[in-house]
């Protein structure tokens, strides 16, 4: 009896896992692979064909407030999750958030996340990413009407490109400078025309 108790106790005390029996009888599950197309925030219009009221017009109603909030919450959750994996993942999520806010014309939030992304890029000495974020910041500042700071961002991007001999980036910087210059001139013309009407 002592031998039987000893064998029984050692049998269950050798393995501290609570899933002891799953090693003996493994559970076979069907593997489901997720891809980008399996997650939809906006329903497919083809799935609404069963109801004739949805097919009576061909206008895109845009996105609802709920879907916009859901996308924002999803990106924020990804940002919290990527904080564990280092600065590069956080920079990518900051860029995603900036693009999200830019697409909804929320420039102040986009500007803040781009500044965070720019700070991480500066710590990593990723000059291409620094130049890219400075160009987008210059566009945002020009859209907000702050042309002086937009020109300062373009000058800083140009200085970084010259210092590190990034010639393709110099061409892109010149294109952005010309676009901002045209934007500024157009804005001044509209202001002058408006002043003439008063």
6-30: per-residue pLDDT in tens?
Answer: 877 776 665 555 555 666 666 665 5
pLDDT at 53 over 50: no
Alpha helices (runs of H) in the chain, residue ranges in sequence order: 2-13, 20-24, 65-82, 87-103, 107-124, 127-143, 147-163, 167-197
pLDDT at 83 (0 to 100): 72
Please write the tens of the pLDDT for every residue from 60-100: 546 677 777 887 888 778 777 777 777 788 888 888 888 88
Q: Summarize pLDDT for 137-171 with one digit per residue, the tens.
A: 998 888 888 889 999 999 999 999 999 888 888 88
Judged by phi (left if over 0) then psi (alpha if -120 to 50, else beta), residue 64 lies in beta
Question: Does 127 have pLDDT greater than 60?
Answer: yes
* pLDDT recorded at residue 54: 42
Residue with more model confidence, 20 or 3: 3
The predicted structure's pLDDT at residue 33: 46
pTM for this entry:
0.59
pLDDT at 156: 94
pLDDT at res. 42: 41
- In this prediction, residue 190 has a pLDDT band, given cuts at 50, 70 and 90, of low
| pLDDT at residue 93 in the model | 84
pLDDT for res 46: 44
Q: Give pLDDT, residue 180.
A: 87
Q: Report whether 161 contacts 169 (CB < 8 A).
A: yes
What pLDDT is attached to residue 21? 60
């Amino acid at each position: 009896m002592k031998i039987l108790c000893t064998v029984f106790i050692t049998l269950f005390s050798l393995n501290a896992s609570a899933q002891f029996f799953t090693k003996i009888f493994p559970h076979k599950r069907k593997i489901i692979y997720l891809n980008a197309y399996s997650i939809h925030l906006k329903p497919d219009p083809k799935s609404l064909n069963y109801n004739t009221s949805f097919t009576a017009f061909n206008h895109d109603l845009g996105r609802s407030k709920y879907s916009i909030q859901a996308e924002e919450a999803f990106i924020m959750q990804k940002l919290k999750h990527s904080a564990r994996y280092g600065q590069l993942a956080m920079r990518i999520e900051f860029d995603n958030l900036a693009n999200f806010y830019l697409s909804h014309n929320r420039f102040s939030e986009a500007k803040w996340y781009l500044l965070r992304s720019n700070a991480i890029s500066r710590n990593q000495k990723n000059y291409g990413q620094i130049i890219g974020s400075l160009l987008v910041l210059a566009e945002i500042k020009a859209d907000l009407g702050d042309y002086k700071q937009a020109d300062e961002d373009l000058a800083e991007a140009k200085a970084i490109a010259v210092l590190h001999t990034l010639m393709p980036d110099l061409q892109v910087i010149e294109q952005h400078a010309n676009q901002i210059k045209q934007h500024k001139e157009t804005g001044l013309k509209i202001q002058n025309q408006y002043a003439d009407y008063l």
